[in-house]
């Protein structure tokens, strides 16, 4: 019997989440790194519940992780697999990544293409987009200010950059009439270059009506995590967004991805503001399971540092286990 060894670390790094989380302030991003070893094989995972999005707190996740690791250790004598069933999503995801890495089930290569988050200045966007190879896709958070202003900005960018595609995310901010105000400012001939608008309205039904009425493609993000959600083909549905840290184990995410693909629906793997360790794993998951789709992983720059693993092309300082932002948890 080979020896199983595991270690748990906790991190806290400065972050400015305002851009993504709107008025929800998060000064530091906290989470756990789990390292498991079995003989010569090693795997890492990140367990980082996102406040206001995850049901579980970091404390709860930590406790559950410690319990699971102890039981996993006990199961070894019987050479049993120990299930991830019933765990919090962030715990199931982090542990499943560590196991998948250890077992060599996760490809090394990642999809590091990003849809840069932009703030409406086309000159700035030109520069950014010219530096990225391939498809020009940018993402704008909408619904924070006036809906007509959002519409004007989207239309102006699409007008100014003829090969630009946009992803927009309203996070359910609009009533149907606000959403209509947005649409009014986007010229009909520009609408097909909106790859999707995530969750325009407060309810799914309103979002469907909006999409149908204005011929603008939508994507489900928040909806995917609701109990009554199931994958189905819908006329204006372009994609579903999967944030694995909020969803559950890798196996569960893969099942959902495959189901969406069977229905002809695109899947966009997306960040829950993980550290560079978790983000690089998400890039690898995207590469493996959603080839040819740019993932929604442009969140590293909200942080001041990278931890343990480097995001391809990032200039941010890379810190290790010895840094002041990481400490070991003994149990
Ligand atoms: O999906 C992306 O493109 C980036 C990640 C992102 O927007 C996000 C990250 C954490 C929590 C919520 C959201 C969101 O989709 O609004
Ligand atoms: Mg979203």
Q: Cβ distance 7 to 34 under 8 Å?
A: yes
More confident residue, 116 or 309: 309
Q: Please report the atom of ligand 1 found closest to the CA of residue 117.
A: 3
User: Does pLDDT of 87 surpass 90?
Assistant: yes
Domain membership flag for residue 113 = no
Q: What is the DSSP letter of 311?
A: P
Which pair of tokens denotes residue 200?
């325009």
15-24, 32-41, 133-142, 256-265: which has the minimum mean pLDDT?
15-24
Domain membership flag for residue 53 = yes
Query: Cα of 93 to ligand 2 centre, how many Å?
Result: 19
In this structure, the answer to whether residues 136 and 276 fall within a common structural domain is: yes
In this structure, the answer to whether residues 179 and 66 fall within a common structural domain is: no
Q: How far is CA 280 from CA 88, 242, 269, in A?
A: 21, 16, 12
Ligand nearest to the CA of 199: 2
Residue with the nearest Cα to atom 11 of ligand 1?
272
User: Does pLDDT of 186 surpass 90?
Assistant: yes
CATH of the domain at 69: 3.30.390.10
Domain membership flag for residue 245 = yes
Q: Which residues are catalytic?
A: 141, 243
In this structure, the answer to whether residues 303 and 323 fall within a common structural domain is: no
Looking at residue 2, its pLDDT comes to 58
In this structure, the answer to whether residues 138 and 94 fall within a common structural domain is: no
Of 288, 248, 243, 238, nearest to 269 (Cα)?
243
User: Does pLDDT of 231 surpass 80?
Assistant: yes
Give CA–CA dist 29/272, Å, rounded: 10
User: Does pLDDT of 79 surpass 90?
Assistant: no
Ligand nearest to the CA of 270: 1
Domain membership flag for residue 111 = no
**Cα radius of gyration (the chain):** 20
Give CA–CA dist 228/29, Å, rounded: 30
Model confidence at 7, in pLDDT bands (50, 70, 90)?
Answer: very high
Looking at residue 238, its pLDDT comes to 97
User: Annotation-wise, does 155 bind a ligand?
Assistant: no
In this structure, the answer to whether residues 196 and 255 fall within a common structural domain is: yes
Q: 171: buried, middle or exposed (CB in 10 Å: 19+, 13-18, 0-12)?
A: middle
Task: List Cβ neighbours of 161 (8 Å cut-off, separation of 6 or more).
Answer: 122, 125, 126, 129, 136
Query: Cα of 222 to ligand 2 centre, how many Å?
Result: 7
User: Does pLDDT of 309 surpass 70?
Assistant: yes
In this structure, the answer to whether residues 323 and 225 fall within a common structural domain is: no
Residue with the nearest Cα to atom 2 of ligand 1?
296
DSSP string, 105-151: -S-S--------B--S-HHHHHHHHHHS-S-EEEEEE-SSS-HHHHH
Domain membership flag for residue 26 = yes
Domain membership flag for residue 229 = yes
* Residues forming beta bridges with residue 193, ordered by sequence position: none
In this structure, the answer to whether residues 282 and 304 fall within a common structural domain is: yes
Residue with the nearest Cα to atom 5 of ligand 1?
271
This model of the complex carries an ipTM of 0.98
CATH of the domain at 258: 3.20.20.120
Task: List Cβ neighbours of 91 (8 Å cut-off, separation of 6 or more).
Answer: 47, 56, 61, 64, 65, 68
In this structure, the answer to whether residues 252 and 277 fall within a common structural domain is: yes
Q: What is the pLDDT of residues 48-78, one digit of tens each?
A: 999 989 999 999 999 999 999 999 888 877 7
Number of structural domains found in the chain: 2
In this structure, the answer to whether residues 151 and 292 fall within a common structural domain is: yes
In this structure, the answer to whether residues 282 and 308 fall within a common structural domain is: yes
Q: Please report the atom of ligand 1 found closest to the CA of residue 268.
A: 1
Q: What is the pLDDT of residues 127-172, one digit of tens each?
A: 888 787 788 999 999 998 899 999 999 999 999 889 999 999 999 9
In this structure, the answer to whether residues 132 and 71 fall within a common structural domain is: no
For β-strands 41-47 and 28-38, DSSP reports them as: antiparallel
Domain membership flag for residue 45 = yes
Which pair of tokens denotes residue 9?
């670390």
Of 226, 221, 217, nearest to 193 (Cα)?
217
Q: Provide the domain limits for residue 289.
A: 122-314
Domain membership flag for residue 117 = no
Give CA–CA dist 89/133, Å, rounded: 34
Check the CA dihedral 225-226-232-235 and report its sign.
negative
User: Does pLDDT of 1 surpass 60?
Assistant: no
Model confidence at 25, in pLDDT bands (50, 70, 90)?
Answer: confident
Task: List Cβ neighbours of 159 (8 Å cut-off, separation of 6 or more).
Answer: 187, 190
User: Annotation-wise, does 221 bind a ligand?
Assistant: yes
Look up tokens 């980082």; give the residue.
48
Query: Cα of 52 to ligand 1 centre, how many Å?
Result: 13
Verdict on whether the full-model pTM lies above 0.90: yes
In this structure, the answer to whether residues 57 and 156 fall within a common structural domain is: no
């Amino acid at each position: 019997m080979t020896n199983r060894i595991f270690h748990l670390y906790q991190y806290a790094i400065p972050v400015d989440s305002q851009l993504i989380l709107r008025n929800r302030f998060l000064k530091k991003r906290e989470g756990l790194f789990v390292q498991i070893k079995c003989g010569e094989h090693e795997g890492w995972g990140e367990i980082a519940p996102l406040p206001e999005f995850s049901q579980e707190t970091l404390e709860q996740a930590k406790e559950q992780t410690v319990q699971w690791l102890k039981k996993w250790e006990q199961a070894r004598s019987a050479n049993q697999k120990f299930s991830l069933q019933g765990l919090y999503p962030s715990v199931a995801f982090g542990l499943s990544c560590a196991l998948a890495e250890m077992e060599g089930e996760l490809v090394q290569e990642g999809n590091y293409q990003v849809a840069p988050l932009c703030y409406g200045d086309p000159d700035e966007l030109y520069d950014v987009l010219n530096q990225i190879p391939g498809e020009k896709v940018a993402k704008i958070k909408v619904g924070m200010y006036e809906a007509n202003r959002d519409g004007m900005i989207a239309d102006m960018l699409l007008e100014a950059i003829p090969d630009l595609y946009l992803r927009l995310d309203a996070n359910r901010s609009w009533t149907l009439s606000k959403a209509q105000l947005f649409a009014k400012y986007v010229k009909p001939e520009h609408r097909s270059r909106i790859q999707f608008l995530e969750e325009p309205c407060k309810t799914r039904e309103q979002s469907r009506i909006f999409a149908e009425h204005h011929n603008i493609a939508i994507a489900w993000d928040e909806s995917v995590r609701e109990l009554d959600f199931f994958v189905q083909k819908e006329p204006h549905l372009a994609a579903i967004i999967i944030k694995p840290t909020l969803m559950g184990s890798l196996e569960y995410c893969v099942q959902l991805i495959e189901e969406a693909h069977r229905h002809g629906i695109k899947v966009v793997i997306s960040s829950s503001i993980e550290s560079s360790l978790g983000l690089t794993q998400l890039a690898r998951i995207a590469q493996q399971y959603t080839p040819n789709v740019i993932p929604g992983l442009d969140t590293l720059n909200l942080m001041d540092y990278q931890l343990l693993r480097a995001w391809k092309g990032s200039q941010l300082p890379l810190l290790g286990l010895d840094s002041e932002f990481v400490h070991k948890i003994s149990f």
